[in-house]
């Protein structure tokens, strides 16, 4: 019989010889060593990265490198502020544009969508993640950017009094189009995590709201969104991390100009784009500066991802009421105490 | 309760609330449609620009270095396709066993111990690392250290690093879904731990594991940044991994800035090829997920 054969016959586990236990021990220690070596590998890479970045930090100082507005390759001067600011502007834009849309799609799929098209819509959103970033960059620069330029010009002219948006030359590669395409790229990840969080809302909460006469939207606003706040924030942070680290699409779309962005529709730079562009031919100090930029990028994504994980973990822990109904009944005297039960 | 005082008829909801409800729901639907538009636009654009380049010779000839002559002499993308397949295959051969091994350890042995939590945290950290960093890591480890130059296998290592956390994370989720009683019954029948893992747990989780692996492969196939400073680029079909190796994303990236229209068209044909390959992998992975009995 198969059941007996998997156990090796009649012998009890306790009577098994050490030799028979050997595969188990090999497996256990082997896998533990594997897990430990992954940790060691990550630490090794981090240490090596710091080592390669050191000459740049030694010359410009850690704060000097990160916050100096002076990325000048020909003069061998490397202050990474334009890169950092560009990274933050493009990722910020991606968040502002992408998260509301992603949350809306998650809401639609979990709350408002007819059952039959739930599957296809979900798959279509997730297919957005299948498009390689180089294709996003090319589609953005050859199709979307020229199409949107007239509209961007109109906005820049109409709102020329607004500091960041108006005034200045509207170029085809610019911060805005980069942020827009990044928003499309982070849509699937923010949407899928939001969807997961929204599907864990207890039906009781929703039904209670509906039972009290709330409209569909009021129910979402009262029962679904507050419950999902932490989870959605976590999803947004994960999207932010993805946007910060995106290299190829940003390189193609942002214009690669190492200037501190002062208008939305102008060219800029980013940490990852600088590395992609300049690493191939960089020498010595320049190369070290690019490694240092990589280190800044790494620390940035690390921070964002840690915060994201903490938020998602907090959301996953079930929302327990501080006082249950029974506690309340015990400690609070009933209204009109003394009246008959 | 009198029936007339508590009828739940539609007119109990004020017009204002009803209007707000309709407006909000309309916005949500509109946003979803807006979210789907880019996908349609991209596919349409790729087809319109890339389909024209597709031909039997497109897939069977290598790109030549010629950029100044007629379309007939610029060659196809054979070495790029083969290079991508080879690099991704080697990367998978590295990342899948290691990733599965770490996932099995996390689920079966580490569980919620402090060490396991640390490992899990670091794997999560790795999922968020920008893809270009993996290229830099391999560059530091294998190119700076040894003084040698770009090679196909170095690109494969970089992609393997990229795939590792993806495989581990998805495998862990699937392995956790295998019912505990299934393991326990096997153990109660006297099966040693390793048999339970290899003959019960892994086979049960197989469709879900495959889905995760295919999605990781699809992701790696589309990455350009890790290959920029590790595998280099070349025109000829190279089967040996020890030298420069071509790949689809790199080919696309280099070609598209060319002043020759024919070369740019080749880039679009290559982009269409890459997207078709990745979409097929994705759809296949999702079909597998549907047929899985878990989750």
Please compute the mean of the pLDDT values over residues B115-124 and round it to a whole number.
Answer: 88
Q: pLDDT class for A104, splitting at 50, 70, 90? A: very high
Mean pLDDT of chain B: 84
Read off the pLDDT band of B122 (50, 70, 90).
Answer: confident
Q: Is the pTM of this model over 0.80?
A: yes
Q: Is A50 on the interface with B (CB under 8 A)?
A: no
Judge whether residue A136 has pLDDT over 90. yes
Q: Residue B262 has what pLDDT?
A: 79
Chain segment B220-238, per-residue pLDDT in tens: 999 988 888 888 777 677 7
Min CA distance, A329 vs chain B (Å)? 27
Predicted local confidence at residue B69, as pLDDT: 54
Average the pLDDT over B109-118 and give the result. Answer: 87
Q: Mean pLDDT over residues B162-168, rounded?
A: 92
Residue numbers in B near A8 (CB within 8 A): 190-192
Best of A10, A31, A249 to substitute, by most chain B Cβ atoms within 10 angstroms, is A31
> Is B8's pLDDT higher than 70?
no
At A231-270, the pLDDT tens digits run: 888 889 889 988 998 999 999 998 888 888 778 888 888 9
pLDDT in tens, A293-307: 999 999 888 888 888
pLDDT at A108 over 90: yes
Contact with chain B for residue A247, Cβ under 8 A = yes
Strands A77-80 and A69-72: antiparallel
pLDDT computed for residue B41 by the predictor? 94
Please indicate whether, in this complex, the C-beta atoms of A108 and B144 are within 8 angstroms of each other: no
pLDDT of residue A340: 46
Please tell me which of the candidates A105, A184, A215 has its beta carbon nearest to residue B31.
A105
Tell me the residues of chain B between 65 and 94 that have a Cβ less than 8 Å away from chain A: none
| CB-based contact A38 B122, cutoff 8 Å | yes
Look up the ipTM and state it: 0.85
Pairwise CA distance, residues A279 & A288, whole Å: 10
What integer pLDDT is reported at residue B70 of this predicted model? 54
- A21 vs A319, which has greater pLDDT? A21
Q: For A107, which residue in chain B has the nearest alpha carbon? A: B28
Tell me, yes or no, if A63 comes closer than 8 A to chain B by beta carbon: no
Top pLDDT among B99 and B231 is at B99
Cβ–Cβ contact A49 with B under 8 A: yes
How close, in Å, is residue B3 to chain A by CA atoms? 17
Whole-number average pLDDT of chain A: 83
Q: Which two tokens stand for residue A274?
A: 């600088």
Q: How much is the pLDDT for A330?
A: 66
Q: Cα(B216)–Cα(B226) distance, rounded to whole angstroms?
A: 15
Chain A contacts in chain B segment 199-218 (CB below 8 A): 199, 218
Three state DSSP letters for chain A: CHHHHHCCCCCCHHHCCHHHHHHHHHHHHHHHHHHHHHHHHHHHHHHHHHHHHHHHHHHHCHHHHHHCEEEECCCCEEEEHHHHHHHHHHHHHHHHHHHHHHHHHHHHHHHHCCHHHHHHHHHHHHHHHHCCHHHHHHHHHHHHHHHHHHHHHHHHHHCCCCCCCCCCCCCCCCHHHHHHHHHHHHHHHHHHHHHHHHCCCCHHHHHHHHHCCCCHHHHHHHHHHHHHHHHHHHHHHHHHHHHHHCCHHHHHHHCCCCCCCCCCCCCCCCHHHHHHHHHHHCCHHHHHHHHHHHHHHHHHHHHHHHHHHHHHHHHHCCCCCCCCHHHHHHHCCCCCCCCCC
Q: Name the B residues in 215-274 with CB < 8 Å from any A CB.
A: 218, 221-225, 228-229, 249, 252-253, 256, 267, 271, 274
pLDDT at B194: 87
Q: What is the number of CB-based contacts under 8 A between chain A and chain B?
A: 241
The residue among A35, A119, A128 with the most chain B CBs within 10 A of its CB, best to mutate, is A35
Q: Is the pLDDT of residue A2 over 50?
A: no
A-proximal residues of B, 134-193, CB under 8 Å: 136-137, 140-141, 144, 164, 186, 189-193
In angstroms and rounded to an integer, the radius of gyration of the C-alpha atoms of chain A is 27
Q: Check B125 against A305: CB less than 8 A apart.
A: yes
Kindly list the structural domains of chain A, giving each domain's residue range(s) and its CATH number in brackets, ordered by start.
82-317 (1.10.3720.10)
Does B101 contact A275 at a Cβ distance shorter than 8 Å?
A: no
pLDDT tens across A63-86, in order?
878 888 878 777 777 888 888 889
- % of chain A with per-residue pLDDT over 90: 21
Give A161-218 pLDDT, tens digit per residue.
777 776 667 788 889 999 999 999 999 989 988 998 888 888 888 899 888 888 888 8
Give me the mean pLDDT over the A141-158 stretch.
Answer: 87
Q: Does B275 touch chain A (CB under 8 A)?
A: yes
User: Chain A partners of B122 at a C-beta cutoff of 8 Å?
Assistant: 38-39, 42
Residue A323 has pLDDT above 60, yes or no: no
> pLDDT digits over B55-73, tens only?
887 887 777 765 555 555 6
The answer to whether the Cβ–Cβ distance between A241 and B128 falls below 8 Å is yes
**Interface membership of A42 toward B (CB under 8 Å):** yes
Name the B residues in 106-145 with CB < 8 Å from any A CB. 106, 108-110, 115-116, 118-119, 121-133, 136-137, 140-141, 144
- Interface probe for B, chosen from A117, A132, A184 (most Cβ of B below 10 Å), is A132
Q: How far is A279 from chain B (nearest CA, A)?
A: 8
Q: Which residue has the higher pLDDT, B276 or A336?
A: B276
Q: What is the 3-state secondary structure (H, E, C) of A121-139?
A: HHHHHHHHHHCCHHHHHHH
Per-residue confidence (pLDDT) for residue A156, from 0 to 100: 83
Any A CB within 8 A of B280 CB: no
């Amino acid at each position: 019989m198969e059941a007996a054969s998997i156990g090796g016959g009649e012998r009890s586990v306790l009577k098994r010889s050490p030799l028979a236990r050997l595969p188990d021990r090999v497996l256990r220690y082997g896998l533990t060593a594997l897990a430990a070596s992954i940790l060691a590998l990550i630490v090794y890479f981090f240490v090596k990265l710091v080592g390669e970045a050191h000459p740049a930090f030694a010359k410009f100082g850690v704060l000097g490198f990160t916050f100096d507005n002076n990325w000048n390759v020909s003069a061998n001067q490397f202050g990474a502020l334009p890169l950092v600011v560009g990274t933050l502007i493009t990722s910020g834009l991606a968040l502002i544009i992408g998260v509301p849309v992603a949350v809306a799609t998650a809401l639609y799929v979990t709350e408002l969508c007819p059952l039959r098209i739930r599957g296809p819509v979900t798959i279509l959103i997730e297919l957005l993640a299948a498009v390689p970033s180089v294709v996003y960059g090319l589609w953005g620069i050859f199709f979307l950017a020229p199409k949107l330029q007239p509209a961007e010009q109109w906005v820049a002219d109409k709102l020329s009094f607004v500091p960041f948006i108006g005034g200045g030359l509207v170029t085809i590669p610019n911060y805005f189009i980069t942020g827009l395409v990044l928003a499309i790229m982070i849509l699937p990840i923010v949407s899928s995590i939001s969807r997961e969080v929204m599907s864990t809302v207890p039906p009781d909460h929703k039904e209670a709201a509906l039972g009290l006469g709330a409209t569909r939207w009021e129910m979402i606003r009262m029962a679904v969104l507050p419950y999902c706040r932490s989870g959605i924030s976590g999803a947004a942070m994960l999207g932010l991390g993805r946007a910060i680290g995106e290299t190829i699409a940003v390189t193609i779309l942002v214009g690669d100009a190492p200037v501190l962005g002062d208008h939305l529709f102008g060219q800029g730079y980013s940490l990852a784009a600088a590395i992609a562009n300049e690493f191939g031919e960089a020498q010595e100090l320049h190369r070290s500066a690019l490694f240092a930029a990589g280190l800044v990028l790494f620390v940035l994504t690390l921070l964002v991802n840690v915060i994201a994980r903490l938020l998602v973990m907090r959301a996953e822990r079930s929302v327990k009421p501080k006082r249950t109904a029974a506690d309340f009944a015990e400690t609070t005297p009933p209204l009109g105490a003394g009246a008959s039960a | 309760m009198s029936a007339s005082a508590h009828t739940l008829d539609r007119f109990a909801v004020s017009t204002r609330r009803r209007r707000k409800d309709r407006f909000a729901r309309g916005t949500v639907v509109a946003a979803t449609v807006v979210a789907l538009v880019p996908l349609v636009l991209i596919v349409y654009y790729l087809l319109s620009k890339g389909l024209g380049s597709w031909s039997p010779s497109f897939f069977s000839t290598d790109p030549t270095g010629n950029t100044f002559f007629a379309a007939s002499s610029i060659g196809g993308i054979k070495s790029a396709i083969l290079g991508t397949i080879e690099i991704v295959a080697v990367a998978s051969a590295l990342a899948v066993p290691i990733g599965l091994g770490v996932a099995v350890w996390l689920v079966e042995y580490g569980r919620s111990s402090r060490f396991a939590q640390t490992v899990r945290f670091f794997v999560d950290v790795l999922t968020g690392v920008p893809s270009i960093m993996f290229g830099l890591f391999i560059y530091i480890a294998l190119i700076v250290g040894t003084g040698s130059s770009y090679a196909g296998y170095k690109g494969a290592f970089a992609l393997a690093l990229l795939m590792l956390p993806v495989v581990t994370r998805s495998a862990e989720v699937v392995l956790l879904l295998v019912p505990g009683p299934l393991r326990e019954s096997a153990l109660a029948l006297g099966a040693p731990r390793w048999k339970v893992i290899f003959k019960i747990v892994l086979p049960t989780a197989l469709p879900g594991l495959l889905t995760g692996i295919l999605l990781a492969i699809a992701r790696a196939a589309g990455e350009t940044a890790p290959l920029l400073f590790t595998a280099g680029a070349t025109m000829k079909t190279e089967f040996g991994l020890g030298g420069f190796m071509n790949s689809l994303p790199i080919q696309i990236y280099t070609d598209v800035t060319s002043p020759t229209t024919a070369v740019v068209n080749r880039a679009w044909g290559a982009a269409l090829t890459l997207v078709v390959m990745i979409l097929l992998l994705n759809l296949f992975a999702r079909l597998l997920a549907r047929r899985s009995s878990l989750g």
